[in-house]
Amino acid sequence: MEDAAQSAPESRDERFAACLSRLEELKAIKARREVLEERVFLEFLRSNRGRINEFPLLETEQQSLMDMLLRRAEGLHGGHEHVKDRFSAYLLELNHYGKAKAVGDAGEQEKLARRLERVETVLAKCLQGAVYASSLIKDHFSDAVIRHFGEDSLAKIEEITSTLVFDEHYWKAYIERFIKEEVRGAYDVILADRRYRLSRDGQLLIVAFPFDAVLEKLQGTTKAISKTRVQTAFEEASSAPEGRAVTEAALAALNRADIPGWDRRADRDEVLFAAQVAAMDAAAADYRAAMAEGISTPEAEARLEALYEQTVALCVGAAVSLRVVREDFSRALRDFAPKERAYILQVAGSFDAARLGLVLENIMEFDFASLLREKGEADAGRIQVRAARARRVSREAVDALAETGLGKVRRKQFFDDDADRPDSLLLRPKNPGEFQERLKLFQIEPELARSLVALWENASFKVELFVCINLTALGKVATNLPARVTEVLGRYGIAPPGAQEPARTKNPT
């Protein structure tokens, strides 16, 4: 492969020549179709790097982008066929252009060059959408890791980014090198500090582990993290009035595009994300401006149509990239229970910056639960691991609602003190239905209701994990129950006093 740092072809004809040369070279050796597509696609990517913002300089990133759009999206997203069709159209036009160039027909060559350039630009916008989306997700996630694990995590982040393709292995590396290491280290601290609690409820012996003890071990940072160019552009597209207007134009363009296999009504969050990503690019802003100007000449109509195609291509590239990333992320979570994996993916959504802190904490919680299940695996039928979760918000945020009508009586109906954190409160409602019922029952005014809903949606969680040992079931397989309990607790690093004789398994009768 050519050096990614080599300067990009400066002119249209140089770009065409580079890709045509690679195409003819592969045709001459009768390369397989998939090999030809891959090599020409990579050549196209490198040849157009001067036209793609935030172009991936690392070879692993270029390979990942090609693999994402041509291979991994197949069967995952209807937009994959749209991208493949654009690439097939590019190869066809490039072939026609090459033939005209070979016979020296200057007039035909220029005519075909203009057609090829239009197809080339649309394909480049597919790439641009995917580059923006992938870069944004990686930037958001690395920021969340830095906030939770501190600035010392930068070296690990850079190693993962520079050595791994952006696929399942990328996400697994984050889970292994940050979350699993942290959880196992925190477990040792919990045992050393005796942060667990032993209790009995009927025939259940319960060991309670506070998840707060895991979070407290994190050496995070509260320093402001500088936004990347991609994050800044996305924020403007999402929040600034001009950016929202461009997003609306991109959304309208996408909704009228014919893309079989993509149910945009069912994937509204994905569609909105795609339009916001498209709004980061000048082509989408030009499309909105052209729509506002109206069509007065055939040239204006042709320009509007070209900008429409480019805007849709940006949206498709972003949406396909998001879908593949979600699938890769899901695969990296395969060690978790299906319900846990589904919950994490639901929280992650479109990898919004505001959600990823919770995503990290959810993964840590479920990994902690997985560790507890592993330790009790020999008695899996007699031990259950359960979790109790309560939404937690800052006391300061709740105090601020007094000005909008949250008096003492109402406050007691929605919040309890957090015995473990004086600066926090726990929401009393256990689920969204119960929360909505209380809003109605206490006739909460619209302004206050919106504030309470925001607290509910953005709340973190206080979590306790419980290892529940069924003594009746355990007694059926051991002749000395106290010794067997000691053995089971010993697997968790807990040694209750008074344990003497080791347990003996009963002989089957």
Q: Closest Cα to residue 200, out of 421, 496, 504?
A: 496
For residue 224, which amino acid is it? A
Which residues, listed in sequence order, are joined to residue 461 by a DSSP beta bridge? Answer: 391
Task: Give pLDDT, residue 10.
Answer: 67
Q: What is the DSSP string of 439-481?
A: HHHTT--HHHHHHHHHHHHH-EEEEEEEEEEEHHHHHTSBS-H
CA dist 42 and 22 (Å) reads: 10
Beta carbons within 8 Å of 431's beta carbon, 6+ residues apart: none
Distances (CA, A) of 178 to 12, 132, 149, 438: 45, 25, 8, 39
Task: Give pLDDT, residue 266.
Answer: 67
Token representation of residue 55: 């172009």
Q: Closest Cα to residue 379, out of 505, 289, 199?
A: 505
Angle, to 10 degrees, between the axis of helix 353-375 and the axis of helix 106-149? 60
Write out the chain's pLDDT in tens, 509 residues.
344 445 667 689 999 999 999 999 999 999 999 999 999 999 999 999 999 999 887 888 888 899 999 889 999 899 999 999 999 999 999 999 999 999 888 889 999 999 999 999 999 999 999 999 999 999 999 999 999 999 999 999 999 988 888 999 999 999 999 999 899 999 999 999 999 999 999 999 999 999 999 999 898 898 999 999 999 999 999 899 999 999 999 999 999 998 888 877 768 899 999 999 999 999 999 999 999 988 889 999 999 999 999 999 999 999 999 999 999 999 999 999 999 999 999 999 999 998 899 899 999 999 999 999 999 999 988 999 999 999 999 999 999 999 989 999 999 999 999 998 999 999 999 999 999 999 999 999 999 999 999 999 888 899 999 999 999 999 999 889 988 999 999 999 997 644 444 444 444 43
Please tell me what DSSP assigns to residue 1.
-
Token representation of residue 3: 């050096």
Task: Give pLDDT, residue 7.
Answer: 61
Beta-sheet pairing, 415-417 with 460-470: unpaired
Q: What is the pTM of this model?
A: 0.87
CA dist 226 and 223 (Å) reads: 9
Query: Cα-flanking dihedrals φ and ψ of residue 469, to 5°?
Result: -100, 120
Residues 236, 243: contact at Cβ < 8 Å? yes
Token representation of residue 376: 């009790």
Task: Give pLDDT, residue 104.
Answer: 85
Please give the helix or strand (H or E) that residue 45 lies within, else none.
Answer: helix 33-47
Please measure the distance between the N-terminal and C-terminal CA atoms of the chain and give it in whole angstroms. Answer: 69
Please tell me what DSSP assigns to residue 166.
S
Q: What is the DSSP string of 152-164?
A: GGHHHHHHHHHHS
